[in-house]
């Protein structure tokens, strides 16, 4: 793991409004991201619930930046210099799941796999694909996550979100503007809950499909390593991994970062990679794929924060 840089704190925490949740200055973000790299958050805020988050947003000073909202950091690369401003973490306090009929309502902090299992226990089919998607349902909603032929938009009913001023909004499918690995909701709005709908099914059949998905994922993906999931989006009519293979990038290495031998659209931290290693390796993969195939790969992993000059310059 790269050495953490000096905390970014400069009195910001003293200027934040009173909350029921928890503030922590200089929180080491490498502790919560799946890549296990990155510098500190200037201030980490873990709200007690959606109302606590709304209160924070409505009462904070206009010059207090909210730089990042994170769940479990499964699709996130935090740069080595850390993240200035406030990082909001939606955790188990905002992860309640309720099943009724063919409907599932979940807080944004709920793990995708827990949502899938709650649906299974309630005999609701159609949500099994979430068993193969790491991360929280809030992140899945933001990126219209998908796997095994299904996307979140296919089971979506409505969501609740807070705008930058803490005002609550109820969003229907027509508001979301879902497209491949994205939605049209403003980046500074924060999803707090989602309402999903499947179909009635037999628990045994649902469980069988979920076991198959998990087995296939373990067979084809490097799930036992520190990784951030699929690195690049699939271009129209092509698979990112095939283009990476064609460009000869499988197994390529930079410092402690390596392109997975098992699935070459995954980058792996072998134990001592910096964020600069991982991002630099990803950019080299993009360069080689463009050179060999003419296709410009687009990052699926979200890269945030500032570079640490001592560890090399990351690409913006």
Which of the residues are catalytic?
A: 181, 230, 300
Distance linking the first and last C-alpha atoms of the chain:
22
Question: Cβ(263)–Cβ(277) under 8 Å?
Answer: no
Q: Are 300 and 77 in contact (CB under 8 A)?
A: no
- Phi, psi of 225, rounded to the nearest 5 degrees: -115, 165
Q: How far is CA 102 from the centre of its chain?
A: 26
Cα→Cα distances 44→47, 243, 273, Å: 10, 38, 24
Using an 8 Å Cβ cutoff, are 141 and 152 in contact? Answer: yes
Who contacts 100 (Cβ-Cβ below 8 Å, separation ≥6)?
A: 122
Task: List strand residue ranges (DSSP E) for 103-256, in order.
Answer: 103-107, 124-125, 146-147, 150-151, 156-162, 168-172, 190-197, 199-200, 226-230, 253-254
Around 191, how many Cα atoms within 13 Å sit in the side-chain half-sphere? 31
User: Quick one: 18 exposed, middle or buried, by C-beta within 10 A (0-12, 13-18, 19+)?
Assistant: exposed
Q: Identify the burial level of 312 via C-beta atoms within 10 angstroms of its C-beta, where 0-12 means exposed, 13-18 middle and 19 or more buried.
A: middle
**Angle at which helices 112-121 and 203-220 cross, to 10°:** 150
């Amino acid at each position: 793991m790269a050495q953490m840089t000096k905390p970014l704190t400069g009195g910001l925490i003293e200027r934040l409004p009173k909350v029921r949740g928890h503030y922590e200055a200089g929180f080491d973000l490498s502790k919560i991201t799946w890549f296990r790299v990155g510098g500190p958050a200037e201030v980490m805020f873990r709200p007690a619930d959606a109302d606590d988050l709304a209160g924070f947003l409505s009462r904070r000073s206009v010059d207090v930046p909210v730089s990042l909202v994170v769940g479990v950091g499964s699709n996130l690369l935090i740069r080595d210099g850390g993240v200035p401003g406030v990082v909001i973490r939606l955790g188990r306090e905002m992860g309640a799941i309720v099943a009724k009929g063919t409907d599932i309502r979940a807080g944004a902090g709920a793990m995708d796999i827990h949502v899938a299992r709650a649906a299974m226990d309630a005999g609701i089919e159609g949500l099994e694909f979430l068993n193969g998607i790491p991360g929280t349902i809030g992140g899945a909603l933001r990126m219209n996550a998908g796997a095994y032929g299904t996307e979140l938009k296919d089971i979506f009913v409505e969501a609740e979100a807070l705008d930058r001023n803490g005002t609550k909004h109820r969003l229907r499918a027509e508001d979301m503007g879902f497209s491949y690995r994205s939605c049209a909701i403003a980046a500074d709005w924060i999803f707090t809950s989602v309402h999903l709908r499947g179909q009635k099914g037999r628990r045994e059949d649902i469980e069988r499909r979920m076991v198959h998905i998990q087995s296939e994922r373990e067979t084809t993906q490097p799930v036992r390593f520190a990784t951030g999931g699929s690195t690049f989006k699939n271009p129209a009519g092509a698979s990112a991994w095939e283009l990476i293979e064609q460009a000869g990038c499988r197994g390529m290495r930079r410092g402690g970062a390596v392109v997975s031998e098992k699935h070459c659209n995954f980058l792996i931290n072998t134990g001592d990679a910096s964020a600069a290693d991982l991002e630099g390796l990803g950019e080299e993969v993009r360069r080689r794929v463009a050179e060999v195939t003419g296709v410009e790969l687009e990052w699926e992993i979200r890269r945030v924060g500032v570079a640490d000059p001592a560890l090399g310059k990351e690409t913006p």
